[in-house]
Amino acid sequence: MAEKSNSLAGQLLVAMPQMGDPRFARSVIYLCTHSGEAGAMGLVINKPLGSLTLAELFAQLDIESGDFAQKQPVHFGGPVEPGRGFVLHTADYQEEGTLPIIGNIAITATLDIMRAIGRGRGPRQSLFALGYAGWAPGQLDAEIQANGWLSVTADEHIVFDPDHEGKWQRALGKLGIDLSLLSSDAGHA
């Protein structure tokens, strides 16, 4: 049971300014799972995939969509399995494939949730992502210890905010961090 208390599931991972991997530079990741035995899995929540909208994706999947989907972007969820889709959403929507995470946030990776969203019967708030970020057991903990990531309690206002550009700064702000005081060089006095 001690493993559960060390879990960062339900937290936001915020990339430090010196993040060397361009796929994760200035990223905010909602951590869906995290355990010492299984590793970790999360979704990047602040990097829309160009101009691809949820309505265009629905059309490709032959799913009817309402006005809601017209402007909703599809996100780069991470580099692992980029053809696989995930819906991060408020827990007011539940189905057999839904994984509740922490508080009022859940994840579902089925076409049923897409159909429900298209019919206007989906969750109150949602974010669709292609791919995910994954870490082997101990890998994420090592990256955090090497100052690659900071973690902060997630909230719906940051997770589902349509201002994707501002999510990184807002997440750092929750930690009380002033960006002007952060150096992009580590280990220099």
Burial of residue 67 (CB within 10 Å: 0-12, 13-18, 19+) is exposed
Find out whether 128 and 75 touch, Cβ atoms under 8 Å: yes
- pLDDT tens for 125-174 read 999 999 999 999 999 999 999 999 999 999 999 999 999 999 999 999 99
Please check the confidence at residue 3 and state whether its pLDDT lies above 70. no
- pLDDT tens for 66-124 read 766 667 889 999 999 999 999 999 999 999 999 999 889 999 999 999 999 988 899 99
Q: Residue 156 belongs to a domain with what CATH number?
A: 3.40.1740.10
pTM attached to this predicted model = 0.89
Residue 18 located in a structural domain: yes
Structural domain total, the chain? 1
How would residue 182 be classed by pLDDT, with cut points 50, 70 and 90?
low
Residue 163 located in a structural domain: yes
Sign, CA dihedral 40-43-44-45, equals negative
Please check the confidence at residue 186 and state whether its pLDDT lies above 90. no
Residue 111 located in a structural domain: no
- pLDDT tens for 45-76 read 999 998 788 888 888 888 887 766 667 889 99
